[in-house]
Structure 1
Amino acid sequence: MKVVFVLFDSLNRHMLSPYGGKRVPTPNFDRLARRAVTFDKHYVGSLPCMPARRDMLTGRLTFLHRSWGPLEPFDNAFPELLHKRAGVYSHLVTDHFHYWEDGGATYHNRYDSYEFVRGQEGDRWKAMVQPHWERLREMYHARQFTTERRQYFSQNVVNREFIREEKDFPSVQCFAHGFDFLDVNRDADNWLLQIETFDPHEPFHAPSRFKEPFDTGWEGPIRDWPRYGRVDELPEECEELRANYYAVVAMCDHLLGELLDYFDRYDMWKDTTLVVTTDHGFLLGEHDFWAKNRMNLYEEVARIPLFIHDPRQPDRAGSRSFSLTQSIDLAPTFLDFFGVEAAEEMEGYPLTSMMAGERRREGALFGYFGGAVNIADGHYTYHRFPEDLAQQEIYQYTLMPTHIFAPFTPEELADAGIADPFSFTKGARLLKVPVVERSPMYNNYGPGALLESGTRLYDLQTDPGQQQPLNDKEQEDRLVALMVDLMRANDAPSEAFARLDLPRSDQARLAVTE
């Protein structure tokens, strides 16, 4: 078996033509859909970027126990299991610089080898002690510019001084390195190649030829990095921001097309599996919001694309699966491709059976640490928030106390205790760290970041845009009971139930129907 896994970041499902998107031509995603199974009800798990990747690698939800952080000593990462149990070689090609920050430094080392392409967003790549700040200030919109060092905005404008031609763009280099791997290894057996690019994550920077079809006539400074929060820009500014996102999606489609051409050229369809997905979506003004992390987890963020070509199931090419799936299914799927059993702690299911529509789960649980707990069942979504985000009792459970950019602060750790092992920690006791308002995660992607906090239920059949919350006690009670069951199966800590006023005992179903 040979596997190519393509992972984009912030790729909106509803922008792709196989899912009905019309604003951006995506002919290569159409080509892929003709060769693959297209999954219609595929959801995220833990969010945002690195929590999503921890789910993908370990096959279990992590957002109920901790926020953004490294893989833990007890985690089962599928590349390591492939190596240990079946001798399968794994190679990672990525420009996702979060892997090299404090909060992601244990991920890439799980692969047999890796290639890191520099330059995306705030990657601390190019060193300019005295940039031409005044020239750069004139080039970039004030909302995406600062002279303060060690900030993503300032590092990004420096990095972009060195990204001039199309070949310089990190995503282009990622796919080029992927082709290098295939040139050397495509005739070998038992390998997995992960080609992962940060695009179309913000800032929406693409070569000019991809922007031309979406030209808005904007004459202001570079505006391709939206704020995280409510829309307050003028209409023409919003259109420019969206147009730049469209341009990066078009570039991603082009790069995917180059990979499909490679599969065609060397007839890899007959013996190589291809999996294409993303970590989450991105709001472009829908629900009056930009981005993620600040709002309820609407479908635009939580429901994501997934395509799988399995050469062992050629009759499934061009079909669709309506099974309810999510990101935690990827790890057991990659293991299954090579005949390796999933680890006992994994909560996901192999997607190979669900390609034909087999139903393996009643609901998909997802969320941000410290925010709502959300559930989708294919018909409804239910989003349950704590009564008071600021006053909730919540702890992080970890043996790797780091945030994105730095270790946990001494203030956070001062009141830390030791928790008994969870069912998935292989006997290891964990630090139990109280969440405090001064935590670096609190106002970034934690409780203090959220601008919406009202529990709501949506019927996706009658209200696919999630515009009108539904008042239906019967459905809410049913979904609450299912949520409790899934949280218990995840061995969620007791306060995860208390903060949402949920029963933790076996009486959950009785309690919500009385």
Structure 2
Amino acid sequence: MNCIVIVCDTLRVDHCGPYHHGRPLNRVNSPEQPEWVVPTPNMDRLARRGTVFDNAWCGSTPCMPARRDIYTGRYEFLERGWGPLEDGDLDLPRQVSGPPNRSLSWQLAQQYPVSYMVTDHFHLWEQGAGNYHMGYTGFDFVRGHEADAWKTEPVVFPCPDEPDHKVERHHRNVHLTRKSEEDYFCAQVFTQAADWLEANRAHDNFYMHIDCFDPHEPWDPPEEWLTKFDPRGYNVDRWRSMVPYDKWGNHYTPEELRHVQARYAAMVALTDKWLSKLLDKLDELDLWHDTTIIFTSDHGTYNGDHGRIGKLQTHQHDACGHIPFIVAHPTDGHGERRSQLVQLVDIYPTVLAAVGRPCPPDRHGVDLLPVLRDAGAETRRYAVSGMFGRSVTITDGEWILHQSPVPDNKPLYWYGHSTARFIPYDLGPYEGGRRAVDCPSWDTPTWLSDKKADPNEYVNLAEAHPDKLAELQRALASKLAELGAPPEQVERLGL
């Protein structure tokens, strides 16, 4: 069987049709969202062919830590932060396609499936993370998004962001290359993915990984899409394509926040529109009968929730930690929903099972194919997530605990050879396979929420429900031991 994984970066679950069911955003989870409906007919189309998981949670955050979860089937955030794949990582593409630096003829003769990546995600190439593409049989990199150092022509062009911000590269790139909607990055990614399917349809048991950076910032949708949510389009006093990861009231008026929310919604709708390019090609080539598709995101983003904008900065509340997750199998689970807890680490064993390759031991993920066949199949009792050195989240799907570390946030160690080049941490020398870390945590208290009564987690029940708090803290300590987490994590978290 073939397998296609689609990761759309920073995609809020409440903006996806299979989860909002046509309701206005402010009636889904977050009353701070606008009253408009975000149409995603192609996500809906995929959901009708597949199984929608209602309880999907990110693991390691943000972008690249989430990808290491996908590529290794193990949670990264308990051992280190943003970094490249390391020598000992049994990365997914090599588990599919065999050892690197072999010819395609050798690979096919040894009956390894072909693997291919299509992406515009510059972080996959950036210093401090740039080796995630190396295990694939082939790959295609759509140039120019976000901080991609591509075009250097000395031209004068309108740049809505500060000229010394790295996103100036993005605006320079698009000024020199963007002529129509077909040149937007999500359009290029899904078009090239469809073209690869056309040219490679004869391969047996292929694996294609589509890593689409949209709807991650910069948020600069075509004006005709923006006006669907803000009739003013870009005719506003000021706008910036990037957002500060902070309390929004420190940067925006309510009217300006609505414009930011409109640009994000337009990027989601645009990305969904171009998803159709891939789905249409699956129709045309009749690939649904022997292909499993997994559609998800690495995390969401605050967009007014909890008074905040952007990611990071505080606990992984629902707006960030709850993610869309849809699996379309050739025969099982069509049009169905599942309530089991699933996470990004589950992609690893599921892909390997789909393409008929063995899964290495000691993975944290769960093969989801049995859950598609049997609505009663189990995955896990608790899901965990977090950002390295910050709070750690555990949920049973009904209650959720965000456990803050002790005041000095020690002891804390970074495991592995890589250093913190993208998100900086104060790392000590490399000794005995680890580096001591001096890392202040967020100034946020331990937080307990009843997800059924309070889905967007506005009310902290840690003091009102001490028994439930203690229960989940014990569960977290037990889960960390089960995962083989570094033992100092229990001490750092005050458990």
Query: TM-score normalized by structure 2?
Result: 0.89
Shift of 1:192: 0.8
Shift of 1:468: 1.0
Alpha-carbon displacement from aligned partner over 1:86-113 (angstroms, at most 9, x marks no partner): 6011000000000111222221101111
The one-letter amino acid of 2:369's match is T
CA distance in 1, matches of 2:192, 2:41: 23
- The corresponding residue for 2:291 is 272
- The corresponding residue for 1:223 is 240
- The corresponding residue for 1:256 is 275
Shift of 1:491: 1.8
- The corresponding residue for 1:393 is 411
- The corresponding residue for 2:363 is 346
CA distance in 1, matches of 2:456, 2:412: 32
Shift of 1:28: 1.4
- The corresponding residue for 2:221 is 206
User: Is 2:53–2:340's contact at 8 Å kept on the other side of the alignment?
Assistant: yes
User: Is 2:120–2:145's contact at 8 Å kept on the other side of the alignment?
Assistant: yes
User: Is 1:70–1:402's contact at 8 Å kept on the other side of the alignment?
Assistant: no
- Structure 1 residue matching 2:228: 3-state secondary structure: helix
1:110 has 2:135 as partner = yes
Aligned residues: 461
Alpha-carbon displacement from aligned partner over 1:397-439 (angstroms, at most 9, x marks no partner): 1123352289x9xx844x4311xxxxxxxxxxx2x112246xx
C-alpha spacing 1:118/1:488, structure 2 compared with 1 (3 Å) = same
CA distance in 1, matches of 2:346, 2:193: 24
User: Is 1:17–1:29's contact at 8 Å kept on the other side of the alignment?
Assistant: yes
1:197 has 2:212 as partner = yes
Alpha-carbon displacement from aligned partner over 1:277-299 (angstroms, at most 9, x marks no partner): 11100111111111111111101
Q: Which stretch of structure 1 is more off in the superposition, 282-291 or 209-218?
A: 209-218
Match of 2:124 among 99, 110, 126: 99
User: Is 2:167–2:218's contact at 8 Å kept on the other side of the alignment?
Assistant: no
Alpha-carbon displacement from aligned partner over 1:237-265 (angstroms, at most 9, x marks no partner): 10111111011101111011222222222
The one-letter amino acid of 2:136's match is Y
Match of 2:400 among 381, 384, 405: 381
Q: Describe how 1:398-437 pairs up with structure 2 within 5 A.
A: 398-404=416-422, 412-413=427-428, 415-418=429-432, 430=433, 432-436=434-438
Match of 2:444 among 435, 442, 453: 453
Shift of 1:190: 1.6
Match of 1:334 among 334, 351, 357: 351
Q: Which stretch of structure 1 is more off in the superposition, 15-24 or 99-108?
A: 15-24
- The corresponding residue for 2:19 is 19
C-alpha spacing 1:222/1:468, structure 2 compared with 1 (3 Å) = closer
1:4 has 2:4 as partner = yes
- The corresponding residue for 1:292 is 311
- Structure 2 residue matching 1:109: 3-state secondary structure: coil
The one-letter amino acid of 1:18's match is P
Alpha-carbon displacement from aligned partner over 1:145-185 (angstroms, at most 9, x marks no partner): 13x3xx42332332231223222222211112111211111
CA distance in 1, matches of 2:229, 2:169: 27
Alpha-carbon displacement from aligned partner over 1:293-325 (angstroms, at most 9, x marks no partner): 111110111010011111142xx2100011111
Gaps spanning 5+ residues in structure 1: where?
419-429, 438-446, 503-514
Match of 2:172 among 155, 158, 163: 158
Q: Which stretch of structure 1 is more off in the superposition, 107-116 or 338-347?
A: 338-347
The one-letter amino acid of 1:166's match is E
1:175 has 2:190 as partner = yes
CA distance in 1, matches of 2:152, 2:194: 29
User: Is 1:289–1:295's contact at 8 Å kept on the other side of the alignment?
Assistant: no
- The corresponding residue for 1:57 is 71
User: Is 2:56–2:323's contact at 8 Å kept on the other side of the alignment?
Assistant: yes
1:87 has 2:78 as partner = no
C-alpha spacing 1:131/1:222, structure 2 compared with 1 (3 Å) = farther
Shift of 1:366: 0.4
CA distance in 2, matches of 1:92, 1:103: 20
The one-letter amino acid of 1:334's match is V
- The corresponding residue for 1:476 is 469
Measured on the aligned residues, the alpha-carbon RMSD in Å equals: 1.9
- The corresponding residue for 2:102 is none
CA distance in 1, matches of 2:115, 2:242: 33
Match of 1:361 among 349, 368, 380: 380
Match of 1:325 among 319, 342, 350: 342
The one-letter amino acid of 1:88's match is P
CA distance in 2, matches of 1:453, 1:266: 51
Alpha-carbon displacement from aligned partner over 1:8-67 (angstroms, at most 9, x marks no partner): 000111111210253211111111111110010011000000000000111111101101
Alpha-carbon displacement from aligned partner over 1:324-353 (angstroms, at most 9, x marks no partner): 111110000001112323211211100112
Q: Which stretch of structure 1 is more off in the superposition, 18-27 or 97-106?
A: 18-27
- Structure 2 residue matching 1:108: 3-state secondary structure: coil
The one-letter amino acid of 1:178's match is A
- The corresponding residue for 2:149 is 124
CA distance in 1, matches of 2:141, 2:422: 18
- Structure 1 residue matching 2:314: 3-state secondary structure: coil
Shift of 1:267: 2.0
User: Is 1:102–1:402's contact at 8 Å kept on the other side of the alignment?
Assistant: no
Alpha-carbon displacement from aligned partner over 1:463-482 (angstroms, at most 9, x marks no partner): 11211111212222221122
Query: TM-score normalized by structure 1?
Result: 0.86
The one-letter amino acid of 1:107's match is Y
Gaps spanning 5+ residues in structure 2: where?
25-36, 99-109
CA distance in 1, matches of 2:194, 2:121: 18
1:188 has 2:203 as partner = yes
Q: Which stretch of structure 1 is more off in the superposition, 491-500 or 56-65?
A: 491-500
- The corresponding residue for 2:106 is none
Shift of 1:131: 4.6
